[in-house]
Structure 1
Amino acid sequence: MMQIRLHGAFVFATLSAPATRNALTDGMVTDLLEAIDRAEAHPDTRALVLRGSGGHFCSGGDFSRFRALIAAPAPAVGADPIATFNRAFGTLLLRLHGARVVTVAVVEGAAMGGGVGLAACCDFVLAAGSAQFGMPEATLGLPPAQIAPFVAARIGEGAALRLMVTGRRVKAADAMACGLADEVHEGDALDQRLHGLLAELGRAEPASLRSIKAILHARRTRPLPDTLDIAATHFASALRSGTASEGLAALSAKRAANWVVTPDGNTPTDSSSTLPGSPT
């Protein structure tokens, strides 16, 4: 199962199956798609934060589901249900990779297989010092099918291939060195850094964050002239909407802009300091 909480300008999605180290089930895939939809539906949402419970991020696919799929015979005609099942995970990765809000993965303990894919699709990956990343699929007789293009996009094809064909596990520091993780923090410093990152995002105007995501998405999928046209449209929209006027006025007055929120979901003058989403 997955716990989804909307807290002010942030959505927290926690994989919650600690007995299996948060192995991905069909229900989790559906729930995470819902979390992305919820984050994108509210124009003030700054970020979606994804993490696991029980000291681990995600151990990858649900082996019991794999066994059930293997037990069913392949159809004589039509799509193979195994291919359909696998491609459904790719749909989730594509949505997460192209999410219109900022995405943050908080990785503790194991991030294996599909868990690496989830992290690779996020804009920020904050890792605990105890985190381990690995793609052992080839040692189990499988290709890391849906995650391969997203991991390669994050760390480069050569580095991705070397990790995939060896099935090697890498510690957090090595994951940061190769680009799988952006930062590594020990103990309570991990949640403190998450709090600080959300504070930074809370100072950004939400439509501008979405414009940045849209422009960079266009860069990946469209010719450069089209991307520049899209960027110009977003720039004009920001000036016409009044957000830039508010930002400049706030700068001149040395005050917070009217869109600023804290990680707790409050305005800067509020005193609450409880950040949800930290697994217990």
Structure 2
Amino acid sequence: MTSEFRLGGDLTINRLGFGAMRLPSQSGMGGKPRDLETGRAVLRRALELGVNHIDTADFYRSGDHTAHANTLIREALHPYPDGLVIATKVGPLIRPDGYSAGAPSDMRALVEENLTGLGMDRLDLVYLRVGHMEPPHGESIAARFEALAELREEGLIRHLGLSNVDTGHLNEARAIAPVTAVQNQYHAAHRADVEMLAACEEAGIAFAPFFPLGGGRELDDDRLAKVAARHRASVAQTGLAWLLASSPVTLAIPGTGSVRHLEENMATESVVLSDEDLADLA
């Protein structure tokens, strides 16, 4: 199993990356702010451990908006080292009463907010995020994706991706512009999206699941516990190892606001699953 992936054919990244959602707040988006210096320390340590793919979004903020993932990334890591790929997401609008879906006309402002927050002239990878937790089946994403494709043509975006979509959305988008990555919910205890994973593998598109460790819910699975004990690894490490072993196009982006948890997640690279392990986890 190779530890690297060529994103879009021109960006070489380690398949074990880092998700920034939990940096600003203790409960993910909208929660109580974390200590900002701890967040910066996590980011710096991530790069020391070999992370060169960070997944973020402008809407990853604390509930009082005093902590922003993009700001923490810029403060901790800018000027960015060569080879670091930062992926972000646009689509939702932040309103006083919560989140709502952005229109095609909103895409430019959302992209520009990410450019400013991250301190970049061009974003490496921008996902169009649609819906909430389940793909909005039957809803066209063409107009919003076309707006992002135009920004890509202008040079503000290097690669385009999709988040929380079905295969119909993927086909619709690929008829407009190249799609280099898909980010849907998928982990060892939630494997419903095998059709999308197969489509991505066939097309050489990266599949970077959100909630790779269950989204705050423990990966309570007897099969994982059995294999974890065999390797003297944690269930979380085994879940990440399974995810990376499930396809050569999968990318793991576990997130945390703790240096200790970060180091545990990155130690997953030493967990090599055997054919027996994979059979037990099938």
TM-score of the superposition, structure 2-length normalised?
0.33
More helix by share: 1
Q: Please identify the structure whose Cα radius of gyration is greater.
A: 1
TM-score of the superposition, structure 1-length normalised?
0.34
